[in-house]
Amino acid sequence: MFEQTLRDAAAQLLDAARGRGWHIATAESCTGGLIAGCLTAIAGSSDVVLCGFVTYDNGSKSRMLGVPPSLIERDGAVSESVARAMAEGACANSPAELSLACTGIAGPGGGSAEKPVGRVHIAAAAEGRVLHLQRDYGEIGRDAVRAATVADALALALRLAREPVTV
């Protein structure tokens, strides 16, 4: 179901989280659960992956993850601030120590001059730190945008999981 490169990235993230004693939660919009699906495609992932929130609409982002509606209204659902809030909300609303979140416009429609099709905001949160990545994949097709988002989310979370422990 997932390409070998994605499975390898998922396995690396699982190993890094395991090494830190961390558990993972996902908060996904434009990927619709594909990040969690990729992680759980790895045998033995159940000791690390706790849950996934698929918050495709704005109300769900607020209800399930605690993203303030005023933040969504001010910045839009596809924004750095909302991706960060989603990542923080996944940790706050689960026992996970590490979370991955994404929100974007996979296409083919739904874009604008300000927020074009293919724009995605990805965030990873752990121990009070949040990393963010904005990607503009362009109009490469819905499946390609979603697959690229999974790859970039796994890489961002792996970077966070490999950062030195702060005291």
Residue 164: per-residue pLDDT:
82
Residue 17 Cα to chain centre, angstroms = 15
Residue 40 lies in a domain: yes
Tens digits of residue pLDDT in 86-120:
999 999 999 999 999 999 999 999 999 999 999 99
Q: Is residue 42 part of a domain?
A: yes
Which residue ranges of the chain lie beneath pLDDT 50? Answer: none
Residue-averaged pLDDT of the chain: 97
Residue 167 included in any domain: no
Share of the chain above pLDDT 90, in %: 96
CATH code for position 31: 3.90.950.20
- Here the tokens at position 44 are 């033995």
Angle between helices 58-65 and 80-92 (to 10 degrees): 40
Q: Is residue 142 part of a domain?
A: yes
Helix, strand or coil, per DSSP, at residue 164: coil
pTM of the model: 0.97
Q: Rounded CA gap, 101 and 116, in Å?
A: 19
Ordered strands of the 119-126 beta sheet: 49-54, 24-28, 98-104, 119-126, 129-136
Q: Is residue 130 part of a domain?
A: yes
Over residues 71-86, the pLDDT tens digits come to: 999 999 999 999 999 9
Range of the domain at 63: 4-162
Residue 37 included in any domain: yes
Is 156 among the domain residues?
A: yes
